[in-house]
Amino acid sequence: MVFKEAVERQWMLPVQVPVLSNKGEQGARRAAFSEEEYEKVKETIEGMRDNSRKEKTRQIRELLLDYADVVVNTGIRPGTEMEELTWGDILMTRQAHQVIFKVKVRKGKTTKHTGTRTVVCKDEFVYPLMNLMERFPKRKPSDKIFLLADGSSTNELGRTFVSALEEADLKTSPDGPRSLYSLRHTYITWQLLTRTLRIDVLARQCGTSIAMIEQHYSHVVPSMFEQELSGVTFEKIEKKPSAKSRERKKRIQSKLSERFKEWEAETKRRGCI
């Protein structure tokens, strides 16, 4: 890219550009979490939060829980993409008790070349969103989303996440060491395993290329087609929820329906959810 820039600015001639060899390592697998491992990480962070000695430490761990859940449910890159998000970047489309949430990613690794991209959130995005909203009732569209409850920012999320991984004995994996960025790899891996998304759609959602996904996540493909490859088809067993569970779900949907109406009105009034 340096030589390309030099040629475009006429600082050197194309014939003067040297031939560069690429002897780097082949693209490696990306470490991710299984659902059980991710739940264990969250439980560990919750335990750390509840046993915090200092209020600042508790707030960092509290924020980390919501930060992690947002990454796992959107695939947004930890770092600049996440930390530059504002309340005005969250969009919602409502129909009764159902809502589709979208997030506008305006700054980050690829936005300089691709511009703003719109990320469609998984439905469980609503839970960390509610936690964040409760902590910031006076939020404005231009306010950053991922701040501590006292309104300050922190650069301790990555280090705190690694501490939680070490405590949960999940720092290492067959695909290498895990970090906060592994949450994005988890989102991509889980989406591939559902077999409901085309890779090109997933690539656009995540702001990456089809080639990059195929290079780093090819090991997931056999698991995507395990029944076809094995010739064994498992009978699909659907768990029937209990009457108590159905009633609880009905109450939650009713409550969410009312909240979504309020959020829709709030968005129109102040310009953000």
Q: Over the stretch 184-225, which tens digit does the pLDDT of each residue have?
A: 999 999 999 988 888 999 999 999 999 999 888 887 877 777
Query: Given this model, what pLDDT does residue 87 score?
Result: 97
Confidence (pLDDT) at 228: 72
Measured distance CA(208)–CA(201) in Å, rounded: 10
Q: 212 phi and psi, to 5 degrees?
A: -65, -40
Q: Tens-of-pLDDT digits for all 273 residues of the chain?
A: 898 899 999 999 988 888 876 665 555 678 999 999 999 999 999 999 999 999 999 999 999 999 999 999 999 999 999 999 999 999 999 987 789 999 999 998 777 777 899 999 999 999 999 999 999 999 999 999 999 999 999 999 999 999 999 999 999 999 899 999 999 999 999 999 988 888 999 999 999 999 999 888 887 877 777 777 788 877 777 666 667 667 766 766 677 778 898 899 989 998 999
Q: How many CB atoms lie within 10 A of CB 179?
A: 15
* pLDDT for the residue 123: 92
Torsional class of 233: left (φ above 0), alpha (ψ -120 to 50), beta (otherwise):
beta
- Cβ neighbors of 70 (< 8 A, separation 6 or more) are 76, 82, 125, 128, 129
Domains, in order of start, for the chain: 35-224 (1.10.443.10)
Encoding tokens for residue 25? 């390592």
Give residue 114's pLDDT: 73
State the pLDDT at residue 249: 64
With beta carbons less than 8 A apart as the criterion, state whether 90 and 266 touch.
no
Contacts of residue 3, Cβ cutoff 8 Å, sequence gap at least 6: 12, 17, 18
49 touches 62 (CB < 8 A) = yes
Amino acid letter, residue 209: S
CA dihedral 12, 14, 18, 19 (to 10 degrees): 160
Tens of pLDDT, residues 77-89? 999 999 999 999 9
Closest C-alpha to 133, from 272, 252, 236: 272
- The three-state (H, E, C) secondary structure of the chain, written as one string: CHHHHHHHCCCCCHHHCCCCCCCCCCCCCCCCCCHHHHHHHHHHHHHHHHCCCCHHHHHHHHHHHHHHHHHHHHCCCCCHHHHCCEHHHEEEEEECCEEEEEEEECCCCCHHHHCCEEEECCHHHHHHHHHHHHHCCCCCCCCECCCCCCCCCCCCHHHHHHHHHHHCCCCCCCCCCCCCCHHHHHHHHHHHHHCCCCHHHHHHHHCCCHHHHHHHHHHHHHHHCHHHHHCCCCCCCCCCCCHHHHHHHHHHHHHHHHHHHHHHHHHHHHCCC
pLDDT at 216: 87
